[in-house]
C-alpha cells in the first residue's frame, strides 16, 4: 500500500505548488474513517481509495480531485456525512464526493432500476464537473483489478455492467487506456476460455513475426527521415477484447485478422501528419477503404489521428496511426488530458493541434447532450436504453447544404440527422434530399452524404418514427412531441366540451374568465385544465362553478340520453382521425348514420359506443363519464369498424361464400374468428370495415340471403 509521503511526492512531481496540507488531511481523515474495515481480499479497505488516488496521479490531476478520490467512499461506507466533508474540506471537494456517492435509500424494486438511478445521478454530477467521472472510472478500474476476490455471480454482474456502461463511457470521454484495461478484465471474467485462447495465440504470433515488426519500424523511420520528418515509431498489438469484438463483428477467425499489430507514428505538427501520410503512400501501396482522416473530422471524444493501411515490407499489411504528441495524449487520456491546457484559449492554438479546456471539448459537449436525454426518460429502463444507444454506436459524418458537419451513429437516417440539426427541424421534417436526390426519411446515411431536410410547419412527428431512429436525441424528441400532441388533443376535446356546456347553459365566458378559473383550481395553465377536462379528470361543472357562472346541473351534464345523437345538442365528430382522442369501442364498433355516445375512460380518452351497446349499462350510475356525440360526416370513402355475428351451416365452402359476399359488397374483413357452437353449426365473429350504416345494412342483407347462412346480426356488446 502506498505511503502518505509517496502520494505527496507523486502529486508534487507534476504540480510543485500542490496543497500538501490538504492532501495530508484527506489521507489521514479517510484512513481513520475506514478504520478496521477490510475488502473481500482481506486487505485494509483504505487501500482502495489510496489506489484510486494513485491511478489518478498518472493522469496528473489536481489536488481537489486526488483528495476526492481519497474521500470518495467515506460518506457511503462510514459514519461521515456530506456536511462533515464540506465543513472540513470545502464545497468543491464535497461536491465531487457527493457526485460519487451512490443513492442508497431508493424505494425501487429491481437492481436494474437502482443501477439506472445511480448512473443518472453520476452523469448529472459529471455534467457539472467532469472530474467526478475521472474518479469514478479510476474507482471502477481498481475494483476490476481486484474482481477475482468476489463471488462468481457478483463478479459476472459487475463485469457485464463494466462492459455495458463504464468501458464505453471511458471510450466516449477519450480515456482509452482505462477503457482498454476495463474491457480486458471484464472480458477475462465473463469468458475466461476465449480470453486465454486469444492471449496464447498472440504470444505465438509475436514469436513468429517479432523480427518483422522491428524491421518495419526501422524501414518506416528511415523513409520518414529521408523526407526530413522527425518522428517516433512504435508497434502496438491489439488488446484481447478488441480482437474478440472484431472477430464477432466481422465473423472472422483469428488467423484472418490482418491488423493485430499496428504502428503509431508520432510527429511534431499537424501538417507533418499529412506529410508522413504522403511518404507512406509513395513508398507502399495503400489499401482502398482503409483511410480515415480524424484530424479534419475529429471523433466525438476529441480523438484526432490519420489512419491508413498499406502493403509494407514482406508484403505484410501495416496499419498506421499518424498523430502529434498532443493528439496522442488526448487519444490516451481523453478529457483528462485537457487538464494540462486549462489556460490555453486561443483558437489558433486549438487549430494547431493544442488541446482546449475540458469544458469546451467535443466529449464534454456529448456528455451534456446525454444529460439532456436523461431529462426526457420516463423510467429507468428507458434511461438505460438511451444511455447504451449513445455509448455503443460508431460514427457517420454527414453535411448540411451549408457545409456544417453532423456526426451521427452508424445506421442513422435522415430523421436522426434532422433532429441533430435542431429539434424543430426534426419535428417538422416531411422529406429529404440526399446528394441532390429525393430520398425517404428512413434512408440510412453514409459518410460524406450531403443532406437537406424539407420541413413543414403543419407536420407532427408520428410515434412510429421512434422505432426507426437510432439516436437518443431523436427518440426523446419524438416521444416529447407525441406526448405534447396527445395533450393538445385532450385540450381540444376539453375546449369543445366546455364550449358546448356553456352554450347549453345559455352563458358566455372570456379567456380571462377561464385563466382566473384555472388559477383558482390550482392547475398549471389553461391548456393543462382543458386537457384534464378532456381526460375526464375534472368536469365542466368544476370549471364553470369557479368562473361564477350560474348553471343548472341538468343543463351541463355531458349527456342527455333522450336526445343522444342529435346534431343540435351534441359534439360533432368526423371519425377517429379528428384532432380528438377518440377510440371506437371494440365490443361493437360504430359507424356513421347510427346514434352514438362517448364514455370517458381513464388512460384511453373517449370510447365511442353506438347507443344500443349493452356495455353502456355498466356506466348508467356514472353520468359524469357520458359525452353526447353525433357524427359530423356522411358516409364517405373512409371506413369504420362494425362487429357482426354470422351463424353458418357446417358444409364445404360455407366460409368461402361468406367472405366472397362481404367482398362483393365492398366491405373489408378486419378480423374473423370461428367458434364451434353445435355439431352442424358454427358461429363467426367478424369485424367489418364499412363506410356507414347504409353500407352495413346492405352487407347484412346480402349475407342473410347466402344459402349456408342460418342467422346474421349486429353484435350489441
State the catalytic residues.
Answer: 76-77
C-alpha cell at 150: 468476489
- The secondary structure element, H or E, covering residue 668 is strand 668-676
List Cα–Cα distances, 704 to 648, 658, 670, 698, 711, in angstroms.
Answer: 10, 10, 20, 10, 7
Q: What is the Cα gyration radius of the chain?
A: 34
* Rounded to 5°, angle at Cα 567 from 565 and 570: 65
- Residue 67 CA to residue 26 CA, distance in Å, equals 6
Q: What are phi and psi of 238, to 5 degrees?
A: -65, 155
Give the torsion through C-alpha atoms of 265, 268, 272, 277, to 10 deg: 0
HSE, CB side, 13 Å, CA atoms: give it for residue 593.
Answer: 16
The answer to whether 298 and 315 are in contact (CB under 8 A) is: no
Q: What is the DSSP letter of 165?
A: I
The angle formed by the CA atoms of residues 556, 558 and 562, to the nearest 5 degrees, is 100
Inter-residue contact 609 to 616 (CB < 8 Å): yes
Whole-angstrom distance, CA of residue 493 vs CA of residue 528: 12
Q: Where are the alpha helices (DSSP H) in 63-102?
A: 63-71, 74-77, 82-100
- Cell 350489441, residue located: 716
Give the integer Cα–Cα distance in Å for 397 and 297. Answer: 8
Measure the CA–CA gap between 59 and 134, rounded to whole angstroms.
9
DSSP label at 450? B
Q: How many CB atoms lie within 10 A of CB 431?
A: 15
Residue 491, H or E segment: helix 472-504
Phi/psi for 460 (5° steps) reads: -125, 130
> How many Å apart are CA 433 and CA 427, to the nearest integer?
17
Amino acid at each position: 500500500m502506498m505511503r502518505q509521503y509517496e502520494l505527496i511526492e507523486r502529486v508534487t512531481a507534476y504540480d510543485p505548488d500542490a496543497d500538501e496540507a490538504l492532501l495530508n488531511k484527506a489521507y489521514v481523515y479517510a484512513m481513520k474513517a475506514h478504520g478496521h474495515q477490510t475488502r473481500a481480499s482481506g486487505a485494509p479497505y483504505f487501500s482502495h481509495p489510496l489506489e484510486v488516488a494513485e491511478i489518478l496521479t498518472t493522469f496528473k490531476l489536481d489536488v481537489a480531485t486526488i483528495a476526492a478520490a481519497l474521500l470518495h467512499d467515506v460518506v457511503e461506507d462510514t459514519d461521515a456525512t456530506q456536511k462533515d466533508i464540506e465543513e472540513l474540506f470545502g464545497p468543491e471537494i464535497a461536491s465531487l464526493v457527493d457526485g460519487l456517492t451512490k443513492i442508497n435509500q431508493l424505494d425501487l424494486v429491481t437492481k436494474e432500476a437502482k443501477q439506472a438511478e445511480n448512473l443518472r445521478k453520476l452523469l448529472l454530477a459529471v455534467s457539472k464537473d467532469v472530474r467526478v467521472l475521472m474518479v469514478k472510472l479510476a474507482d471502477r478500474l481498481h475494483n476490476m483489478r481486484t474482481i477475482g476476490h468476489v463471488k462468481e455471480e457478483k463478479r459476472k454482474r459487475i463485469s457485464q455492467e463494466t462492459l455495458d456502461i463504464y468501458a464505453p463511457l471511458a471510450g466516449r470521454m477519450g480515456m482509452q487506456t482505462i477503457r482498454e484495461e476495463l474491457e480486458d478484465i471484464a472480458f477475462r471474467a465473463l469468458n475466461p476460455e476465449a480470453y486465454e485462447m486469444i492471449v496464447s495465440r498472440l504470444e505465438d504470433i509475436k514469436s513468429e513475426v517479432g523480427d518483422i515488426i522491428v524491421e518495419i519500424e526501422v524501414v518506416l523511420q528511415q523513409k520518414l527521415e529521408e523526407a526530413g520528418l522527425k518522428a517516433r515509431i512504435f508497434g502496438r498489438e491489439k488488446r484481447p477484447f478488441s480482437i474478440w469484438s472484431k472477430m464477432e463483428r466481422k465473423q472472422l477467425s483469428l488467423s484472418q485478422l490482418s491488423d493485430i499489430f499496428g504502428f503509431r507514428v508520432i510527429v511534431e505538427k499537424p501538417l507533418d501528419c499529412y506529410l508522413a501520410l504522403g511518404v507512406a503512400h509513395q513508398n507502399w501501396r495503400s489499401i482502398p477503404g482503409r483511410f480515415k482522416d480524424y484530424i479534419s473530422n475529429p471523433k466525438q471524444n476529441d480523438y484526432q489521428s490519420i489512419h491508413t493501411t498499406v502493403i509494407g515490407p514482406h508484403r505484410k499489411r501495416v496499419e498506421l496511426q499518424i498523430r502529434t504528441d498532443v493528439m496522442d495524449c488526448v487519444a490516451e487520456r481523453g478529457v483528462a488530458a485537457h487538464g494540462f491546457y486549462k489556460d490555453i484559449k486561443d483558437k489558433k492554438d486549438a487549430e494547431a493541434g493544442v488541446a482546449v479546456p475540458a469544458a469546451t471539448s467535443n466529449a464534454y459537449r456529448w456528455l451534456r447532450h446525454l444529460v439532456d436525454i436523461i431529462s426526457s426518460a420516463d423510467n429507468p429502463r428507458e434511461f438505460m436504453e438511451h444511455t447504451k444507444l449513445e455509448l455503443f454506436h460508431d460514427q457517420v459524418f454527414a453535411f448540411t447544404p451549408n457545409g456544417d458537419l453532423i456526426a451521427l451513429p452508424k445506421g442513422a437516417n435522415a430523421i436522426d440527422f434532422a433532429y441533430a440539426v435542431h429539434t424543430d427541424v426534426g419535428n417538422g421534417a416531411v422529406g429529404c434530399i440526399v446528394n441532390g436526390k429525393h430520398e425517404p426519411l428512413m434512408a440510412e446515411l453514409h459518410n460524406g452524404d450531403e443532406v437537406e431536410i424539407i420541413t413543414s410547419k403543419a407536420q407532427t412527428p408520428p410515434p412510429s418514427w421512434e422505432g426507426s431512429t437510432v439516436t437518443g436525441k431523436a427518440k426523446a424528441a419524438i416521444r416529447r412531441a407525441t406526448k405534447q400532441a396527445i395533450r393538445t388533443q385532450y385540450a381540444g376535446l376539453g375546449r369543445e366540451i366546455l364550449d358546448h356546456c356553456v352554450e347549453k347553459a345559455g352563458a358566455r365566458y372570456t379567456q380571462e374568465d377561464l385563466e382566473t378559473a384555472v388559477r383558482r383550481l390550482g392547475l398549471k395553465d389553461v391548456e393543462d385544465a382543458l386537457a384534464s377536462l378532456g381526460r375526464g379528470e375534472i368536469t365542466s361543472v368544476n370549471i364553470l362553478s369557479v368562473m361564477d357562472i350560474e348553471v343548472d346541473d341538468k343543463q351541463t351534464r355531458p349527456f342527455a340520453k333522450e336526445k343522444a345523437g342529435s346534431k343540435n345538442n351534441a359534439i360533432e365528430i368526423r371519425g377517429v382521425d379528428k384532432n380528438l382522442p377518440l377510440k371506437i369501442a371494440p365490443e361493437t364498433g360504430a359507424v356513421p348514420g347510427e346514434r352514438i355516445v362517448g364514455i370517458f375512460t381513464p388512460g384511453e380518452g373517449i370510447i365511442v359506443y353506438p347507443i344500443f351497446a349493452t356495455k353502456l349499462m355498466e356506466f348508467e350510475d356514472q353520468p359524469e363519464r357520458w359525452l353526447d356525440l353525433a357524427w359530423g360526416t356522411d358516409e364517405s370513402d373512409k371506413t369504420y369498424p362494425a362487429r357482426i355475428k354470422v351463424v353458418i351451416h357446417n358444409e364445404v365452402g360455407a366460409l368461402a361464400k361468406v367472405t366472397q359476399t362481404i367482398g362483393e359488397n365492398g366491405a373489408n374483413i378486419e378480423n374473423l374468428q370461428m367458434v364451434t357452437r353445435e355439431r352442424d353449426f358454427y358461429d363467426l365473429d367478424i369485424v367489418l370495415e364499412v363506410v356507414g350504416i347504409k353500407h352495413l345494412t346492405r352487407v347484412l342483407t346480402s349475407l342473410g340471403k347466402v344459402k349456408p347462412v342460418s342467422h346474421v346480426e349486429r353484435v350489441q356488446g
